[in-house]
Structure 1
Amino acid sequence: MTVVLAIRCANGIVLASDSQITDPGRGLTYPAQKLHSLGRYAAWGGSGSRAVLYDVEQVFHDEADAIVESKNIGHALQARVLPILKHHYDAFIPQVPGQETAGTPATYVLAAGYSGDEPFIVDLDPNGLIGHHEETGFQAVGSGAPQAQQAHALLTHFRMSERDLDYGVVAALRVLDALDASSPSVGGPMDICRLTPDGAHHMDPDEVDGVRRRVRRWIELERDALDRLFD
């Protein structure tokens, strides 16, 4: 299971993901980087076929500035991802002798960041369809996306879109940690990227550990409030 999610806050966007790859055909799980830079002001992550995502990474690395500076970022992403998807779909072998279940080339891409001062959260589904999520302020892709959507719905009353980016970072890690605790196919280390008009910052493990301390404090404060609910 993979989950990549984006949360828009008052002054920035957080893009976050787990790092566990599950290969059901071989019964393996292993860590892998799922978030990648998209120039200086954006980042992207994906789920699905690792071969497809590898090819996407190469193209995005070479053409990041052209994508982010385009008038329509969704179309710019689509124009680059669709040929890769078509190539892999055409080459996909659905049934392999001696293999009960074949992998699937279905791939999702989620990109977020800033084009000038304008924020964007854009995803592409396996059919190449574009989704814009700047107004809703949240999107998740991957097999863990439904659980992430549910977790985000449970946090809606905290109004992350009106809060500082630091709150969004804590909320993103809390959602990922909850999925890690409830699903054996989601696992750390968790990857977090802070996106503002000043640039993209990929947080290192020590910074993520600091955020996790904030998550624990948040949980403790909620527990204390609940303990005093009937006082």
Structure 2
Amino acid sequence: MTVVLATVCRDGVVLGSDSQITDKGRDMTYPADKLHPLGASAAWGGSGARSVLHDVQRSFDENSAAILEASDIGRALQEQVLPILRHHYDTFIKDVPGEEGGGTPAAYVMAAGWRDDKPWIIEITPSGMIGHYDDIGFHAIGSGAPMAQQANALLSHFHLRERSLRFGCAAVLRVLQALDLTSSSVGQPFNLCRIGKDGARHLDDDEIDEVAKIVRRWKDAEQAVIPDIFD
């Protein structure tokens, strides 16, 4: 199971992902980074066929400046992803003896950034459609996306759009931790990237540990309030 999610905050966007890759054809899992830089002011993640996402990463690395400087970032992303999808669809062999149900060349790509003092979250679907989610303020892709949407709904009373990037990192990590508890195929370590007016910064392991400490304080504070309200 894969989950990549993005949420809008007052001063930027936070992306998060797990690092568990599931290979159904070989009945195995292994860790891999799912968040990648897109120039200095954006980031992206993907779900689906690893061969497709590998080609997308190379294309984005080579064309990040053109994508981020385009007047329509969604169209610019689409122009990079569509030829890759078409190539893999055209060369995919469906009927491999002994490997029925071994996968498809479908992949979802989601990118997010901050430009002109505004957030943007854009998805390119396996059919090449462009989805914009900055107005919604949250989006997730991958097989864990429905559970991520539910977890986000349970945190909606915290009004993430009105909170800082620091709070956004804690909220995204809390969602990922919840998915880790409920699904054996969502696995650590988790990846976080915060994007604001100063650009995109991928948090290292020590920084994510610090965010985890904040999440624990947040949970402890909730537990401390409950007796005052209900007991």
Alignment TM class, shorter chain as reference: over 0.9
What is the deviation of 1:22? 0.6
**Unaligned 5+ residue runs, structure 2?**
none
1:221 offset after TM fit, Å? 1.3
1:195 is matched with 195
Other-structure match for 1:48: 48
Aligned to 1:61: 61
> Are positions 1:89 and 2:101 aligned together?
no
Aligned to 1:219: 219
CA contact (8 A) 1:69 1:115 kept: no
Does the CA contact (< 8 Å) of 1:41 and 1:114 recur in 2?
A: yes
**Structure 1 spans left out of the alignment, 5+ residues:** none
Q: Superposition pairs for residues 138-217 of structure 1, below 5 Å?
A: 138-217=138-217
Aligned partner of 2:11 in structure 1 is 11
The question of whether the paired residues in 1 share the 8 Å contact of 2:24 and 2:102 is answered with no
Tell me how far apart the structure 2 counterparts of residues 164 and 149 of structure 1 sit (CA, whole Å): 20
Deviations 1:99-121 (A, max 9, x none): 23221111000100123433211
Q: Find the residue that maps to 1:143 and give its secondary structure.
A: coil
Letter in 1 for 2:21: I
- Provide, for residues 81-136 of structure 1, a one-character-per-residue CA deviation record: whole Å limited to 9, x for no partner: 00000100111112210123221111000100123433211011111111111111
Code of the aligned partner of 1:181: L
Query: Any idea what SS the aligned residue of 2:30 has?
Result: strand
CA distance in 2, matches of 1:221, 1:114: 32
Q: Residues 120-171 of structure 1, C-alpha deviation per residue, up to 9 Å, x if partnerless? A: 1101111111111111110000010000000000100100000111111000
Q: Equivalents in 1 of 2:219, 2:15: separation in Å?
A: 22
Q: What residue number does 1:106 align with?
A: 106
RMSD of aligned C-alpha atoms?
0.9
Residue 198 (structure 1) shift? 1.0
AA aligned to 1:114 is W
Structure 1 Cα separation of the partners of residues 116 and 37 of structure 2: 16
What TM-score do you get using the length of structure 2 for normalisation?
Answer: 0.98
Residue 68 of structure 1 contacts residue 114 of structure 1 at CA under 8 Å; is this kept in 2? Answer: no
Please tell me the residue identity of whatever aligns with 1:141. Answer: I
CA distance in structure 2 between the aligned counterparts of 1:137 and 1:230, rounded to whole angstroms: 32
Conserved? CA contact 2:35–2:43, under 8 Å: yes
Identity %: 58
What letter is aligned with 1:47?
A: S
Q: Is the 8 A contact 1:46 1:141 kept in 2?
A: yes
Mapped to 1, the partners of 2:151 and 2:18 lie a distance apart of 15
Q: Distance in 2 between matches of 1:142 and 1:23?
A: 14
How much has 1:34 moved relative to structure 2? 0.6
